[in-house]
Amino acid sequence: MTASSWRAARQGAGLTVLFGLLLAGGSAAGAWGGALAPPPVRPESVDAVPAALSPAQAEHLVASGADRWAAYYSAQDYADFARGLDGEYLGVGLVLDRAQDGGTVIAEVPAGSPADRAGVAAGDRLLAVDGTAVDRLPVTEVVARLRGRGEQGAPARPGSTVQLTVQRPGAAARRLTVRRAVLAAQDVETDRPAAGVLRISVHAFTSGVGEQVRDALRGSNGYRGVLLDLRGNSGGLLDEAAASASAFLDGGPVASYQVGDGRRELTAAPGGDTRTPLVVLVDGGTMSAAELLAGALQDRCRAVLVGTRTFGKGTVQEPSRLADGSVLERTVGRYFTPAGRSPDGTGLLPDVPATDPAGAERLALQVLDGLGPGATGGR
């Protein structure tokens, strides 16, 4: 792994539980009573305590490994991240997958995206990005190049161009020049995996996801059960995870977190659906805020967890602005489930183990079949 890709991977992992910590006296005392969760951090609200640190010192602190989840961002990188928290990203609109022969296949092209307008379709092969063959590159690096995050050069901007070499099965390869745009991420998706079953797949906890989960759940009385799929969800904003928990709970604790000598509580809003049988799918890619949600539903006896042990990230990071506008993110505490468990380092164990992804879905549906109305009603 190159130095830059290692740094990008570390940053990506460190982003998963980022939110505002209202630590100043008056704000902390008045803002938490009855609040569902702290507001998400925005670049203009980042704490400026370590402004005396130079970027080199901050990067050295991160590279030392003393704080596993510490991360350093340039001002532009952090601004891009904040845009990501708002459920947006800069790109051309390609969802990629790895084919069995090792090639890079285009799995989905959102309607109206730049790639869609250029004539790219699901099932096409992506052969190269800006002249660089992609078949031997990790999908994550291919995505980085599409978004303008390659090994060299400044970050891309909306309207910048990227050259794609694509090939439709049975046709010749063709080169397309596509302009990047700010696109809306699809972090909540629904489908019907079986008769009478609603599946809500949550890919990340960005701004507005809690409301999207509640919207998806409205009218679930017509379903015999709900699958909440958190597999591969690397986390996001804790307030959105707590808001998502509110869709399935009628008030009560969701989590608590420890910062220094202080302890804060996250609670669910009243009025959630506590009767529709619920199964949560988890795996080793279920991290941080996603683990918080899964742990809350498990501890509150609201859901049965099916899958494999979760990742095990139960820490809280706080961002701090440096003098040049860059940002250092440091671990400041841990969070705990309603029963007082910390998933940090250990993860959460599912109630029903299932290692094979397809088998996990079949088993989840079988579990739903065995759950009558109100069987996971929570407490």
Select from 14, 23, 16 the least CA-distant residue to 259. 23
Burial of 102 (0-12, 13-18, 19+ CB in 10 A): exposed
Q: Which listed residue (220, 244, 313, 320) is catalytic? A: 313
- In angstroms, the Cα distances linking 342 to 106, 292, 369 are 38, 9, 31
Q: What is the DSSP letter of 220?
A: G
Q: Which listed residue (288, 320, 326, 342) is catalytic? A: 288
Burial of 69 (0-12, 13-18, 19+ CB in 10 A): buried
What are the E-state strand segments in the chain? 71-73, 88-91, 95-98, 104-108, 125-129, 132-133, 161-167, 174-179, 181-184, 188-194, 197-202, 225-229, 253-259, 262-267, 278-282, 304-307, 315-321, 327-336, 352-353
- Catalytic, 256? Answer no
Structure tokens at 336: 């705990």
- Catalytic, 160? Answer no
Structure tokens at 13: 């992992």
* Residue whose entry in the numeric block shows the structure tokens 């993110």: 329
Q: Report residue 336: phi and psi, to 5°.
A: -135, 145
What stretch of H or E contains 7?
A: helix 3-14
Q: Catalytic site residues?
A: 288, 313
